[in-house]
A = this chain, B = another copy of it.
């Protein structure tokens, strides 16, 4: 398969959300022009993105909303569940843990780890926070797919190394630090400071 850019993947996520909305509103078909309008892009972009994966439309009519949503669900791997481990049980981790939208999409936290003795042994919902020292043993016995890092930046690389060692193949990092992962492991960074600083830049000029 042709190499798919992250730009395309992020737009697929956007289409997925738009189609979910439309499906709920009982809209049956949609043109690339309409979909583009909702996503704030061009219709050529929509058709190009979809064309990497197949011919989902009907000339003259457009796309069937439910069908296209199902195709994108499959493409994005959202037709299955993903097990996650959270490293760093702080307030950001807490917000992510209780975020219903992730569960709806099939992303479940299965383990919570922290270094804070005051937190270890306490529960979020009915999931206990474990000592990060136990993580290697626990995750080797019972692997997860994705590691979510909400530790302070100083700890982040060590956690990545641990995650890689226990076979985690996807990492979502919130720590504001450049991280190194080996070939075959996917890393996505969410840096809230960058978003604010980019706003600050726009407001300054």
Contacts and interface: CB of A to CB of B under 8 A. Distances in A.
Interface of A: 1, 4, 6, 9-10, 12-14, 16-18, 38-40, 75-78, 82, 90-92, 94-96, 98-99, 101-102, 105-107, 145-146, 169-172, 176-178, 186, 188, 190-205
A64 B177 CA distance: 21
B92 A193 contact: no
Contact of A13 (B16, B78, B98, B194): B194
A130 B132 CA distance: 39
Number of identical monomers bound together in the oligomeric complex: 2
Contact of A17 (B39, B91, B95, B193): B193
Contacts of A98: 91
Contacts of A205: 1
A77 B201 contact: yes
Most chain B CB neighbours (cut-off 10 Å) among A96, A102, A145, A201: A201
Given A13-B198, A78-B197, A106-B200, 11 more contacts: A6-B198, A9-B198, A14-B194, A39-B178, A77-B201, A90-B95, A91-B91, A91-B98, A101-B176, A105-B193, A170-B203
Nearest to A148: B196
Say whether chain A's binding surface is mostly helix, strand, loop, or mixed: helix
A199 B9 CA distance: 10
Given A10-B194, A13-B194, A196-B105, A178 B38 contact: yes
B13 A102 contact: no
A128 B198 CA distance: 28
Contacts of A94: 91, 95
Given A190-B190, A190-B192, A200 B77 contact: yes
B170 A76 contact: no
Given A95-B95, A193-B102, A195-B172, A82 B200 contact: yes
